[in-house]
Each structure stands twice: as structure tokens, then as C-alpha cells.
Amino acid sequence: MNDDIIDVEPNRRVESLKTIGWVSYVLHLIVAVAAVLPSAQPSIVLLLIALVIDFVKRDDARGTWQASHFSWRIRSVLWAGVLYIVTAPLWILIIPGWIAWIIISLWFLYRILRGMVAMSQNRAVGG
């Protein structure tokens, strides 16, 4: 009986991490889709909540295939943020900043969708 409890616990951990991963991906997806739709900007609070979830739970996923998803989402948000900041001056120059921001938003949406597909197949993401 004790062996049954030990065997069930890793499955609970995997399922718990997967649920947390899906919550984070959905929050990211809401923000990513809204970023490419004109005048549909949800609060950045959703993105920050997802980022905090990922930072807090990342260590729990260490050693599992899901660890790559936590790192993937964190890197996606951080890179998108850096790219938005770097391209912000384009809004006042001749080159319209909105073009750069649409490209960054599409890249971010792609990263979230790619991660979601990998998660649905129970495999790591990245590379």
C-alpha cells in the first residue's frame, strides 16, 4: 500500500504542474492575442500574474519535462519586454514603431502557441 502512495505522488506533481502551466499559458495567450488585435489591450496585470506564477513554481518543475515550459514562458516575456523597450524610440522616428511592435507581438503569440502545442503533447519545449 505504501508503494501505491509513492507511485501516485509523482503523478499528482506532474498533473499539478501541468495545470499551473495551462493557467499560465492561458494568461499569456490572452495578452498575446490582444496585443495583435487593434484596441484590445487587457491589463498588463495578467502578464505579471503569469510571470510571477512561472517564477514561483519553476523550481517545483526542475527535473521534469515541464521545466522547459516555465523557462520558455519566462524568457518569452522578458525578451518581448526588452524588445518593446528597445523599439520604443521608433514611435518618434520616421519608421513607425507600431510595425516593430506588431512583429514583436506576433513573435510572442507564436512562442505561446508553440509552448501550448508542446504542453498538449506532454513534451518539453525549446530549442
Examine residue 125 and state whether it is found in any structural domain, yes or no: no
Q: How far apart are CA 116 and CA 27, in angstroms?
A: 12
pLDDT in the model for residue 14 = 79
pLDDT in the model for residue 53 = 95
Report residue 6's pLDDT band, with 50, 70 and 90 as the boundaries. Answer: very low
Examine residue 127 and state whether it is found in any structural domain, yes or no: no
Examine residue 16 and state whether it is found in any structural domain, yes or no: yes
Examine residue 65 and state whether it is found in any structural domain, yes or no: yes
Whole domain around residue 16: which residue ranges? 2-120
pLDDT averaged over every residue in the chain: 85
pTM of the model: 0.82
Examine residue 57 and state whether it is found in any structural domain, yes or no: yes
Examine residue 126 and state whether it is found in any structural domain, yes or no: no
Q: Which three cell numbers stand for residue 65?
A: 519535462
Examine residue 81 and state whether it is found in any structural domain, yes or no: yes
pLDDT in the model for residue 119 = 95
Residues 11-55 pLDDT 10s: 787 788 999 999 999 999 988 888 777 666 667 888 899 999 999
Q: How far apart are CA 54 and CA 49, in angstroms?
A: 9
For residue 66, what is the enclosing H or E element? none
Average pLDDT over residues 70-98: 87
Examine residue 91 and state whether it is found in any structural domain, yes or no: yes
Has residue 117 got a pLDDT over 60? Answer: yes
Work out how many domains the chain is built from and give that number: 1
Report residue 5's pLDDT band, with 50, 70 and 90 as the boundaries. Answer: very low
